[in-house]
Each structure stands twice: as structure tokens, then as C-alpha cells.
Amino acid sequence: MLAADLALKIKSVVSRASRKASLLDRLSAFVVAGTLGVTWWLYDRLPDPMPSHFGFSGVADGWMPRPIAAWLLPLATVAFGVLFRLGQWLMPRQWRPGFRIAPMDAVVLVFVTMLCGLHVLILRASLDSTPRLGGAIWVLGGAALIATGQLMPRTPRNGLFGFRTKWTMASDENWKRAQRVGGLAFTVSGVAMAVFGGLGFPTLALAALLLTIAVPLVWSWTVARLGS
């Protein structure tokens, strides 16, 4: 009986989620389906083992068996998308109202596109004699940061997405201020990361990525310490 009740509950949650699926949700599903299709089309041409890890220079330095490397990232992307879209039923009740009005469909689309884009870059690198990602990975990451930065100020206080510290989670006002600062930091750093990485300066691109984390943290700590 317990298993039957659980199955009915899961079916109900999935049914409600499917009815509420937005255009962006469908677009995310299309991106994932397209990535799986491209992987299936290229599968027989992919090397075994496949490159699965790339060093700071962008050159492959780790490999995995093809049946795992070819499908692991797309399947993990599906799991990530489902987790975020069903997150409102997994988190404490007090966070659900804010989560429902947050642009989570847009957040999922950004991260799904980034992860699927990364997978396509890995597929492309796998077909080269010297597998490397090149500057495209920095451009992709920079674009994802820019999009995330635009979404942060539009996101109400919640337990899954946004710049979250003990101070920012203490009140809606703290949260709004932090997301504005964090969103600006993400946007500026994303532009710098895409430009420097695309021009072949990975050190500067990495520095821009680190600023994405450091600036909001330092600002939040300073404001919380000063009590203003």
C-alpha cells in the first residue's frame, strides 16, 4: 500500500508539473532532446575512451569509457532540470510561495543550455586528434553568467537559487539588495569572462569568474557587519 500511495503521489506531482509547463520549460526539453539526438547521431564516431576532463589550458587530461562519457552529462542535465522544476514540492512549505513566483523556468533554461552546450563542445573536441575545448567554453560560461545575473534581481527569496548567505536569507529586503549586487557582479564578470576567454586569455577569464563569487560575498559580509 505504501508503494502504491507513493506512486500515486509522484504521478500527481508530475501531472501538475506537466500542466504548468511553460514555453521555456518546453524549450529546455527541446534543447535536451536535441543534445541527446546529436549524441546518438555521433556515437559510433566517438572515440573509446572519450575525453571527460579538460585542464586549465583546455586540453583533455582525463578519459572515461564512451558509454558513460557520451551520456552522463545529458542525463545529469535532465536530473538537474527535473529537480529545480519540482523543487517547490521538495522544499519546506514556507519557501514554496516565493519559489512559485520565481522565474525558475528561465533559470532551468539557462543552466540546461549551458550544460548541453558544454556537452556539444566535448563531443566536438572528442572528434579532434588533439581534444581541446578552446575559448568557446569561456564564451559559453560567460553567457550563462550574464543570463543568471539578469535573473537574480527578479527572483524572490527561496532556498534553491540566488545569492544565499545567512544575512541575505534573514529578510526580503536583505535578499533584494543582495540579488541586485550579485546580479550586477554576475553580468559584468560574464562579459569579461566571455571577452577574455574568447580572445585567448584564460587567466583573465578565470579572474573574472572568481570576482563573480568574491564581490557579492565581500559586499554581503561588509553590510552585515556594519548592520546597514
Contact yes or no for 143/205 (Cβ under 8 A): no
- In the predicted structure, residue 21 carries a pLDDT above the cut 70: no
At residue 228, the pLDDT reads: 54
- In the predicted structure, residue 171 carries a pLDDT above the cut 70: yes
At residue 78, the pLDDT reads: 92
At residue 2, the pLDDT reads: 44
Q: How far apart are CA 52 and CA 66, in angstroms?
A: 9
- In the predicted structure, residue 18 carries a pLDDT above the cut 80: no
Averaged over 144-155, what is the pLDDT? 92
Extract the runs of DSSP E, i.e. beta strands, from 25-102. Answer: 50-54, 60-64
Backbone angles phi, psi at 91, to 5 degrees: -95, 165
Confidence of residue 22 (pLDDT cuts 50, 70, 90): confident
Instruction: Count CB neighbours of 26 within 10 A.
Output: 12
- In the predicted structure, residue 38 carries a pLDDT above the cut 70: yes
Extract the runs of DSSP E, i.e. beta strands, from 24-177. Answer: 50-54, 60-64
- In the predicted structure, residue 6 carries a pLDDT above the cut 70: no
Domain ranges of the chain: 24-134, 136-228
At residue 130, the pLDDT reads: 84
Enter the pTM of the model: 0.80
Averaged over 127-155, what is the pLDDT? 91
